[in-house]
Amino acid sequence: MEIRRASLDDLDVWGSLRLQLWPDTPAVAHSGEQIAMLEAPDRFAVFLCEDGGRVCGFAEASLRQDHVNGCETAPVAFLEGIFVASESRRRGVAGRLVAAVEDWAREIGMRELGSDADLANVVSHAMHSHLGFEETERVVYFRKEL
Protein backbone atom coordinates (compact mmCIF):
# COMPACT_ATOMS: atom_id res chain seq x y z
CA MET A 1 0.00 0.00 0.00
CA GLU A 2 1.39 3.38 -1.02
CA ILE A 3 0.17 6.86 -0.14
CA ARG A 4 1.10 9.56 -2.63
CA ARG A 5 0.11 13.07 -3.71
CA ALA A 6 -2.43 13.28 -6.51
CA SER A 7 -1.47 14.70 -9.90
CA LEU A 8 -3.23 15.66 -13.12
CA ASP A 9 -2.72 12.07 -14.30
CA ASP A 10 -5.06 10.94 -11.51
CA LEU A 11 -8.08 13.07 -12.41
CA ASP A 12 -10.20 10.20 -13.76
CA VAL A 13 -9.63 7.64 -10.99
CA TRP A 14 -9.76 10.27 -8.26
CA GLY A 15 -12.89 11.73 -9.86
CA SER A 16 -14.61 8.35 -9.91
CA LEU A 17 -13.97 7.98 -6.16
CA ARG A 18 -15.23 11.53 -5.55
CA LEU A 19 -18.45 10.64 -7.37
CA GLN A 20 -18.97 7.77 -4.94
CA LEU A 21 -18.49 10.06 -1.94
CA TRP A 22 -20.46 13.02 -3.34
CA PRO A 23 -22.89 11.53 -5.91
CA ASP A 24 -25.09 14.64 -6.04
CA THR A 25 -22.28 16.73 -7.50
CA PRO A 26 -22.01 16.55 -11.31
CA ALA A 27 -18.81 15.05 -12.73
CA VAL A 28 -17.91 18.31 -14.47
CA ALA A 29 -18.05 20.13 -11.12
CA HIS A 30 -15.80 17.50 -9.54
CA SER A 31 -13.32 17.94 -12.37
CA GLY A 32 -13.21 21.70 -11.89
CA GLU A 33 -12.69 21.35 -8.15
CA GLN A 34 -9.94 18.78 -8.65
CA ILE A 35 -8.01 20.99 -11.05
CA ALA A 36 -8.40 24.01 -8.75
CA MET A 37 -6.95 22.01 -5.85
CA LEU A 38 -3.97 20.80 -7.86
CA GLU A 39 -3.30 24.35 -9.07
CA ALA A 40 -3.14 25.68 -5.49
CA PRO A 41 -0.72 23.40 -3.61
CA ASP A 42 -0.17 26.12 -0.99
CA ARG A 43 -3.86 25.78 0.03
CA PHE A 44 -4.75 22.17 -0.79
CA ALA A 45 -3.28 18.71 -0.47
CA VAL A 46 -4.75 15.58 -2.03
CA PHE A 47 -3.48 12.13 -1.18
CA LEU A 48 -4.30 8.85 -2.91
CA CYS A 49 -3.86 5.33 -1.63
CA GLU A 50 -2.67 2.89 -4.24
CA ASP A 51 -2.81 -0.83 -3.51
CA GLY A 52 -1.67 -3.38 -6.06
CA GLY A 53 -1.61 -0.76 -8.81
CA ARG A 54 -5.18 0.38 -8.11
CA VAL A 55 -6.21 3.62 -6.40
CA CYS A 56 -8.55 2.62 -3.58
CA GLY A 57 -8.96 5.81 -1.57
CA PHE A 58 -8.31 9.51 -1.30
CA ALA A 59 -8.12 12.31 1.25
CA GLU A 60 -8.48 16.00 0.43
CA ALA A 61 -7.31 18.68 2.83
CA SER A 62 -7.25 22.44 2.79
CA LEU A 63 -5.80 25.31 4.72
CA ARG A 64 -8.79 27.21 6.12
CA GLN A 65 -8.17 30.82 7.06
CA ASP A 66 -11.59 31.39 8.65
CA HIS A 67 -12.76 30.14 12.03
CA VAL A 68 -13.23 26.38 12.17
CA ASN A 69 -15.82 25.22 14.71
CA GLY A 70 -14.18 23.44 17.62
CA CYS A 71 -10.65 24.62 16.82
CA GLU A 72 -8.62 27.08 18.85
CA THR A 73 -6.16 28.28 16.20
CA ALA A 74 -6.33 29.88 12.78
CA PRO A 75 -5.48 29.06 10.12
CA VAL A 76 -6.34 25.38 10.46
CA ALA A 77 -5.70 22.36 8.28
CA PHE A 78 -9.05 20.80 7.43
CA LEU A 79 -9.90 17.32 6.20
CA GLU A 80 -12.38 18.22 3.48
CA GLY A 81 -13.13 14.69 2.36
CA ILE A 82 -11.95 11.13 2.74
CA PHE A 83 -13.14 8.04 0.93
CA VAL A 84 -12.06 4.41 0.79
CA ALA A 85 -13.53 1.99 -1.74
CA SER A 86 -15.76 -0.58 -0.04
CA GLU A 87 -13.50 -3.54 -0.87
CA SER A 88 -10.52 -1.80 0.77
CA ARG A 89 -12.17 -0.72 4.01
CA ARG A 90 -11.06 -1.93 7.43
CA ARG A 91 -7.50 -2.41 6.17
CA GLY A 92 -5.94 0.80 7.52
CA VAL A 93 -6.33 2.88 4.36
CA ALA A 94 -8.16 5.76 6.05
CA GLY A 95 -5.57 5.84 8.83
CA ARG A 96 -2.71 6.05 6.35
CA LEU A 97 -4.48 8.79 4.38
CA VAL A 98 -5.16 10.84 7.52
CA ALA A 99 -1.55 10.36 8.64
CA ALA A 100 -0.40 11.84 5.31
CA VAL A 101 -2.74 14.81 5.84
CA GLU A 102 -1.38 15.25 9.39
CA ASP A 103 2.21 15.21 8.09
CA TRP A 104 1.30 17.84 5.47
CA ALA A 105 -0.39 19.99 8.12
CA ARG A 106 2.64 19.81 10.42
CA GLU A 107 4.97 20.66 7.53
CA ILE A 108 3.07 23.89 6.90
CA GLY A 109 3.07 24.78 10.61
CA MET A 110 -0.44 23.83 11.65
CA ARG A 111 -1.26 22.75 15.19
CA GLU A 112 -4.79 21.42 14.62
CA LEU A 113 -6.63 19.35 12.05
CA GLY A 114 -10.35 19.97 11.75
CA SER A 115 -12.98 17.89 9.99
CA ASP A 116 -16.72 17.45 9.83
CA ALA A 117 -19.30 14.84 8.92
CA ASP A 118 -22.99 14.87 8.24
CA LEU A 119 -25.02 14.42 11.42
CA ALA A 120 -26.49 11.14 10.13
CA ASN A 121 -23.17 9.67 8.94
CA VAL A 122 -22.40 7.53 11.96
CA VAL A 123 -19.88 5.46 10.01
CA SER A 124 -17.82 8.61 9.45
CA HIS A 125 -18.21 9.56 13.12
CA ALA A 126 -16.80 6.18 14.13
CA MET A 127 -13.90 6.47 11.66
CA HIS A 128 -13.01 9.94 12.95
CA SER A 129 -13.10 8.73 16.55
CA HIS A 130 -11.00 5.65 15.70
CA LEU A 131 -8.40 7.90 14.05
CA GLY A 132 -8.05 10.13 17.11
CA PHE A 133 -10.39 13.00 16.31
CA GLU A 134 -12.51 14.29 19.17
CA GLU A 135 -16.04 15.50 18.63
CA THR A 136 -16.29 19.18 19.54
CA GLU A 137 -19.87 20.16 18.73
CA ARG A 138 -22.97 19.35 16.69
CA VAL A 139 -24.59 21.94 14.48
CA VAL A 140 -27.78 22.14 12.49
CA TYR A 141 -27.76 24.77 9.75
CA PHE A 142 -30.88 26.71 8.83
CA ARG A 143 -31.94 28.71 5.80
CA LYS A 144 -34.76 31.07 5.04
CA GLU A 145 -35.45 32.20 1.50
CA LEU A 146 -35.99 35.96 1.15
* Residues 51-65: tens digit of each pLDDT: 999 999 999 999 999
Q: How far apart are CA 10 and CA 65, in angstroms?
A: 27
CA 109 to chain centre: 19
pLDDT of residue 79: 97
Task: Look up the CATH number of domain 2-130.
Answer: 3.40.630.30
Q: What is the mean pLDDT of residues 76-99?
A: 96
pLDDT band, very low/low/confident/very high, at 139 (cuts 50, 70, 90): confident
pLDDT of residue 140: 84
Please check the confidence at residue 113 and state whether its pLDDT lies above 90. Answer: yes
pLDDT of residue 83: 96
Please check the confidence at residue 69 and state whether its pLDDT lies above 90. Answer: no
In a 13 Å sphere around the CA of 140, the CA atoms on its Cβ side amount to 2
Q: What is the pTM of this model?
A: 0.92
Q: How far apart are CA 60 and CA 6, in angstroms?
A: 10
Q: Percent of the chain having pLDDT more than 90?
A: 91
